[in-house]
């Protein structure tokens, strides 16, 4: 899970219409943006945001082109380097961006077209690519538009070509041959430096890039990807290469879990212009971890390939169970959710014309892929079960235990469902609801403890802000089955307040609040409570996180006095900046370890007032990585957790653990 600041206190206040804006409207009032200008004018339309996710999106766009070369069978190695001066360089040994003149654009080569014209690329037809992750042809040109400097080098036909751009895509000359290419080498090298006038910050995070590069390597068996961070001399180079592809991916995701059997299963099937491969392994945990990809793109909302796999999985396991007498005649068939308990699976499909839909365009809509995945799973999984009777029996027994737990949980779930009402009846005792019935305006603050909850109630805007106090640390759902989870009073309160169900039955359209905000202390206990809550939302209300409804409040960590007025500082970085600005004066700082140390008016002013506060929005950039992080941080393996924290210590400002 990733965190990105949403500073609501800096939004521009709409200006009232004046005579100047309400007068005539003619053709001269229409602005025509040409070339790469639209990207610089509205970068969010192309990369999502100008925060950390948008910054790293530039890297993905360049690497995606190299990965497409690998999927086409022309690239075996990709090198990604974070340069000491803040740039990023991506090198591949593919065919190289075409350097010959384009027939429809006289005087321009393929390289120049790709770097300066939106929606231009080799992935719209023709023989360049059978499958690719690029769909719109805006990738490398968008990177050029949002960079203060970009250099592209192409080794092709025995020659080394070079072209440089500056200030958002303005060419510094023409493509030129600067010498001979290294013997036998072909490929593309792209070096770029993000434009600091566009992005909130231009410092790349190594761990974010490493996680994505590892995923690329898992999904492309045999592809070697190397990473180097020249900003940190103590960092050693990292190389990813997986001869078993997605089978190794499943092993990796189950690192912090106890596998039900040693070797993951695998099958694949290809038909005409599409193919599917699946790797799977059950563990002793209680959470489902199915992660799907289409042409290397993470389909976090699922789609037709997941539908086909899930349907056939349920059918194949029940058919096998009946045939082997593991289910008696009187027994009901195992439900899909019971069979999938503890399952870790990777579904990777490749197809010529992927159709993406859903709210975040990460849901595969090709009906033909559902048929292929269903057919392949019915046939190949059935064969695997017959060939692995011991593992098959373990899977079925786990499903039967899950079914019993689900039956035991049904009463608890029904009780919670009866308590949940969009009209507010039967709400949790600790909930102090807001008066608005406009969900888009409503916010729910989750606060630990009665003292902090009381302050938050006094500090809130009662029209739009609801307060739910919880007692201590909620149940760690990573280690608990749903029947036990639903008996927990604090979790019952959370489910009742949000009002959209839980688990398989969660319906994000029924949530009662547009923002669910975690308001916890800035100490270790507060961080632990926050992590428990995030784990619960990720595991049991995942669409709430995926669609951006979960936020983390940012109460100040320090306070000091300037000219008899109290000043609040968010964190250590803010304190150091404050000291630098106020030098050489001396100040005494009070560290605010708990919300209870703040008066209610101070809490409202610094943390809850929508015009002044800063919220961190929680997002799932890579669902598989988020799955692994939850399992590591909240699982039973202490050594794995210790190693994870030590590895990520240098990037602690990006973590919330």
pLDDT in tens, 509-552: 999 999 999 998 867 778 788 888 988 998 889 899 988 999 99
Q: Dig out the tokens for 464 from the structure.
A: 């739009």
pLDDT of residue 654: 36
- Reported as type and span, the H/E element at residue 294 is strand 289-294
- Reported as type and span, the H/E element at residue 540 is helix 524-540
Least confident of 139-148, 424-433, 439-448: 424-433
Pick the CATH number of 41-240 from 3.30.565.10, 3.40.50.300, 3.40.50.1860, 3.40.50.800: 3.30.565.10
Q: What is the mean pLDDT of residues 16-32?
A: 42
Query: Nearest-CA neighbor of 88 among 217, 209, 211?
Result: 209
d(CA 491, CA 499): 12
- Mean pLDDT over all residues of the chain? 83
pLDDT of residue 499: 92
d(CA 277, CA 578): 54
Q: Give, in order, the Cα–Cα distances in Å from 516 to each of 265, 374, 553.
A: 39, 37, 10
CB 118 within 8 A of CB 135: no
d(CA 388, CA 214): 30
Residue numbers annotated as active site: 448, 521, 523, 525
Burial class of residue 189 in the structure, from the number of CB atoms within 10 Å of its CB (0-12 exposed, 13-18 middle, 19+ buried): middle
Least confident of 87-96, 252-261, 353-362: 353-362
Strand partners, 468: 431, 446
Domain boundaries defined on the chain: 41-240, 246-406, 423-555+597-620, 558-591
CA of residue 580 relative to chain centroid, distance? 35
d(CA 587, CA 163): 53
CA angle (67 as vertex; 64, 68 as ends), nearest 5: 85
Q: What is the pLDDT of residues 380-426, one digit of tens each?
A: 999 999 999 999 999 999 999 998 888 877 765 565 555 544 334 45
The CATH code of domain 246-406 reads 3.30.230.10
pLDDT of residue 374: 97
Q: What is the mean pLDDT of residues 281-290?
A: 92
- pLDDT: which is higher, 189 or 593: 189
Q: What is the mean pLDDT of residues 617-634?
A: 70
Residue 217 in this model has a pLDDT that exceeds 80: yes
CB 421 within 8 A of CB 436: no
pLDDT of residue 513: 97
- pLDDT: which is higher, 114 or 9: 114
- pLDDT: which is higher, 387 or 33: 387
d(CA 489, CA 470): 9
d(CA 77, CA 223): 6
pLDDT of residue 527: 78
CA angle (422 as vertex; 503, 4 as ends), nearest 5: 60
CB 475 within 8 A of CB 481: no
Pick the CATH number of 423-555+597-620 from 3.40.50.10360, 3.30.300.20, 3.40.50.670, 3.50.50.60: 3.40.50.670
Q: What is the pLDDT of residues 441-493, one digit of tens each?
A: 999 999 988 778 888 999 999 999 999 999 877 888 877 777 788 888 899 89
Q: Give, in order, the Cα–Cα distances in Å from 28 to each of 25, 37, 38, 41.
A: 8, 18, 18, 19
Left, alpha or beta for 280 (phi > 0: left; psi -120 to 50: alpha)? beta
Question: Looking up tokens 């669409």, which residue turns up?
Answer: 543
Residue 104 in this model has a pLDDT that exceeds 60: yes
Q: Other CB atoms closer than 10 Å to residue 431's CB: what's the count? A: 17
What is the per-residue burial (b if ≥16 Cβ within 10 Å, else e) of 277-312?
bbbbbbbebbbbbbbbbbbbbbbbbbbbbbbbbbbb
Q: What is the mean pLDDT of residues 162-184?
A: 92
CB 288 within 8 A of CB 341: yes
Would you say the CATH fold of 423-555+597-620 matches that of 41-240? no
Q: Dig out the tokens for 119 from the structure.
A: 């929606």
d(CA 189, CA 117): 19
User: DSSP assignment, residue 542?
Assistant: H
- Strand pairing category for 147-156 and 224-229: unpaired
d(CA 173, CA 151): 12
Residue 138 in this model has a pLDDT that exceeds 60: no
| Confidence band, pLDDT 50/70/90 cuts, at residue 652 | very low
pLDDT of residue 22: 46
Beta strand ranges found along 383-511 (DSSP E): 431-432, 443-448, 465-470
Name the H helices within 90-245: 110-116, 139-145, 206-219
Residue 135 in this model has a pLDDT that exceeds 60: no
- pLDDT: which is higher, 243 or 233: 243
Q: What is the pLDDT of residues 316-340, one digit of tens each?
A: 999 999 999 998 777 789 999 999 9
CB 80 within 8 A of CB 59: yes
Residue 46 in this model has a pLDDT that exceeds 70: yes
Least confident of 181-190, 585-594, 624-633: 624-633
């Amino acid at each position: 899970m990733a965190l990105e600041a949403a500073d609501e206190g800096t939004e521009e206040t709409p200006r009232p219409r004046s005579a100047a804006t309400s007068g005539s409207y003619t053709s001269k009032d229409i602005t025509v943006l040409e070339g790469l200008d639209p990207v610089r004018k509205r970068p969010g339309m192309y990369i999502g945001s100008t925060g950390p996710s948008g910054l790293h999106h530039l890297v993905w766009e360049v690497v995606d082109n190299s990965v497409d070369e690998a999927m086409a069978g022309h690239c075996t190695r990709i090198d990604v380097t974070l340069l000491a001066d803040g740039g990023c360089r991506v090198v591949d040994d593919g065919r190289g961006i075409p350097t010959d003149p384009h027939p429809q654009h006289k005087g321009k080569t393929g390289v120049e077209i790709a770097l300066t014209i939106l929606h231009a690329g080799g992935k719209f037809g023709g023989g360049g690519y059978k499958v690719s992750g690029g769909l719109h042809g805006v990738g490398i040109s968008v990177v050029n538009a949002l960079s203060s400097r970009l250099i592209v080098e192409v080794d092709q036909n025995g020659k080394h070509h070079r072209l440089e751009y500056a200030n958002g895509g303005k060419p510094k000359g023409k493509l030129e041959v600067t010498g001979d290419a290294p013997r036998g080498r072909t490929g593309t090298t792209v070096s770029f430096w993000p434009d600091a006038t566009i992005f909130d910050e231009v410092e790349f995070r190594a761990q974010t890039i490493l996680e994505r590069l590892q995923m690329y390597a898992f999904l492309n068996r045999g592809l070697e990807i190397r990473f180097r961070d020249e900003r940190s001399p103590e960092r050693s180079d990292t190389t990813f290469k997986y001869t078993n592809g997605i089978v190794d991916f499943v092993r990796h995701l189950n690192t912090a879990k106890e596998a039900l059997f040693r070797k993951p299963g695998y099958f694949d099937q290809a038909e005409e212009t599409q193919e599917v491969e699946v790797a799977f392994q059950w563990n002793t945990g209680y959470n489902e971890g199915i992660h799907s990809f289409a042409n290397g793109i993470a389909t976090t909302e699922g789609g037709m390939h997941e539908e086909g796999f899930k349907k056939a999985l349920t059918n194949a396991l029940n058919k096998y169970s009946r045939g082997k007498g593991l289910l008696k005649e009187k027994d009901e068939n195992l439900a899909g959710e019971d069979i999938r308990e503890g399952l870790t699976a990777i579904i990777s499909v490749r197809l010529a014309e992927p159709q993406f839909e859903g709210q975040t365009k990460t849901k595969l809509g090709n009906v033909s892929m559902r048929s292929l995945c269903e057919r392949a799973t019915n046939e190949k999984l059935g064969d695997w079960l017959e060939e692995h009777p011991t593992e098959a029996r373990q899977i079925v027994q786990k499903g039967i235990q899950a079914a019993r737990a689900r039956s035991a949980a049904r009463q608890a779930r029904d009780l919670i469902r009866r308590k949940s009402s969009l009209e507010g009846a039967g709400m949790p005792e600790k909930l102090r609801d807001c008066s608005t019935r406009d969900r888009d305006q409503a916010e729910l603050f989750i606060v630990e403890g009665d003292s902090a909850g009381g302050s938050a109630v006094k500090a809130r805007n009662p029209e739009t802000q609801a307060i739910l106090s919880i007692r201590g640390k909620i149940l760690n759902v990573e280690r608990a089955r749903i029947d036990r989870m639903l008996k927990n009073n604090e979790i019952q309160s959370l489910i009742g307040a949000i009002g959209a169900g839980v688990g398989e039955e969660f319906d994000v359209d029924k949530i009662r609040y547009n923002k669910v905000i975690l308001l916890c202390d800035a100490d270790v206990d507060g961080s632990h409570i926050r992590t428990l809550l995030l784990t619960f939302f990720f595991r049991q209300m995942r669409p709430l996180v995926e669609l951006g409804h979960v936020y983390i409040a940012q109460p100040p960590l320090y306070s000091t006095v300037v000219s008899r007025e109290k000043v609040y500082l968010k964190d250590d970085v803010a304190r150091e900046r404050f000291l630098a600005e106020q030098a050489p004066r001396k100040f005494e700082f009070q560290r605010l370890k708990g919300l209870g140390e703040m008066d209610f008016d101070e809490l409202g002013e610094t943390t809850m007032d929508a015009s002044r506060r800063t919220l961190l929005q929680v997002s799932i950039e890579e669902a598989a990585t988020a799955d692994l992080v939850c399992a590591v941080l909240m699982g039973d393996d202490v050594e794995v957790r210790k190693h994870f924290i030590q590895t990520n210590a240098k990037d602690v400002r990006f973590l919330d653990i």
